[in-house]
Chain A
Amino acid sequence: MPNLANPTVFVDLTRKTLPWLAAATLALFAVGLTLSFTAPPDYQQGESAKIMYLHVPAAWMSTFVYGVMAVAALGTLVWRHPLADAALKGAAPLGAGFTFICLATGSLWGKPMWGTYWVWDARLTSVLVLFLLYLGLIALWRAIEDSGRAARAAAILTLVGCVNLPIIKFSVEWWNTLHQPASVFRLGGPTIAPSLLWPLIVMALAFTFLFLTLHLMSIRNEVLRRRIARVTMLAAAEGDRLAPAFAAKGA
């Protein structure tokens, strides 16, 4: 088992795994999109049900990415893993992207089915809060100059924001909402026909692999950012040591 706490080992590992992950992501999207476009139309919603193949995986990823960030936040605060804050920082923009896809595609699905792009119902509002949490975390990283303090503040905010995850999950059961209840992950099994369920599963895998690929790339970027800071500091320190010698020569 490679020591993933060592950034050099981690970067070497990403160099080997990223091409395979990227290829798997492309293949899954190719199969998933083909299955999605050839899937039969829904008997009530017609072709607009094809939005489901984007909306539902994006919705799953929006909460899954936040779960990954919560583990990374624990890694930062409790276990002090050297790459945990890089994982936390790298995941936030990806989570924001998936949540935006979920909100935008949901809105475009809502107009033909509900007659409106937006309602302030519990599910939609709690997902909007999740999107704002992602944006807040990105802003927090940029607002605090000291990377250690920024990491701790972001980790605390991430853990506080976890309270929103069960609200999103159970909002359709706790309140009367326009949004439908769960139809895949539910007791008694999925209520979707297999011909519609399989494309959904493949697209969900494609979104998951896309996140894994981009997340590894983002963590590698953070490792590079730290190397640049270290090398720049070393170069500045060398420059400081040289400065008296140059001053003496000049004199």
Chain B
Amino acid sequence: MSDPHTGFVIAAYAVAAAVIAAMIGAVVFDYRRLSVHLDEATRALEAARGGRSKDRH
């Protein structure tokens, strides 16, 4: 491209790529974080229920 406005075109594509990457990254990172939290919460619940069943015995 030998157009005098090439810089504006490149900047526009760079901004769009950065925003789309941020949107994808935020959703994927949130999913991974929530999956880890859910595993931890499930383990805590199982531990609490295990403690109760031991307490009954």
A and B bind: yes
Q: Which of B5-54 contact A (CB under 8 A)?
A: 5-6, 8-9, 11-13, 15-16, 19-20, 22-24, 26-28, 30-31, 34-35, 37-38, 41-42, 44-45, 47-49, 51-52
Interface assignment of A176: CB less than 8 Å from any CB of chain B = no
> Residue-by-residue, is A75-101 near B (CB-CB < 8 Å gives 1, otherwise 0)?
000000000000000000110010011
Closest residue on chain A to residue B37 by CB atoms? A228
Q: How far is the CA of A221 from the CA of B35 in the complex (A)?
A: 9
Q: Which of A92-126 contact B (CB under 8 A)?
A: 93-94, 97, 100-101, 104-105, 108-109, 111-112
Interface of A (DSSP majority class): helix
- A245 CB contacts on chain B under 8 angstroms: 55
* Size band of the interface chain B makes with A: 35 or more
- B47 CB contacts on chain A under 8 angstroms: 235
Q: B3 and A235: CB pair below 8 A? A: no
Q: Which of B22, B24, B27, B55 lies at the interface centre, i.e. has the most chain A CB atoms within 10 A of its CB?
A: B27
Taking the nearest CB of chain B, how far is it from the CB of A83, in angstroms? 16
Q: B12 and A218: CB pair below 8 A? A: no
Q: How far is the CA of A221 from the CA of B19 in the complex (A)?
A: 20
Interface assignment of A16: CB less than 8 Å from any CB of chain B = no
- A50 CB contacts on chain B under 8 angstroms: 9
Stretch at the interface among A41-49, A129-137, A154-162, A193-201: A41-49
* Size band of the interface chain A makes with B: 35 or more
Taking the nearest CB of chain B, how far is it from the CB of A91, in angstroms? 12
**Can you pick out 28 interface pairs between chain A and chain B where the beta carbons lie within 8 Å of each other?**
A47-B1, A47-B5, A48-B8, A48-B9, A50-B9, A51-B12, A54-B12, A97-B19, A97-B22, A101-B19, A108-B12, A109-B8, A111-B8, A112-B4, A112-B8, A214-B24, A217-B27, A217-B31, A221-B34, A228-B37, A228-B38, A231-B38, A234-B45, A235-B41, A238-B48, A238-B49, A238-B52, A242-B48
- For the complex with contacts A101-B15, A242-B52, 8 further pairs of A-B residues with Cβ separation under 8 Å are A47-B9, A54-B16, A104-B16, A112-B5, A218-B30, A221-B27, A221-B34, A231-B41
- Which residues of B line the A interface, CB within 8 A? 1, 3-6, 8-9, 11-13, 15-16, 19-20, 22-24, 26-28, 30-31, 34-35, 37-38, 41-42, 44-45, 47-49, 51-52, 55
- Which residues of A line the B interface, CB within 8 A? 41, 46-48, 50-51, 54-55, 58, 93-94, 97, 100-101, 104-105, 108-109, 111-112, 210, 214, 217-218, 220-221, 224-225, 227-228, 231-232, 234-235, 238-239, 241-242, 245
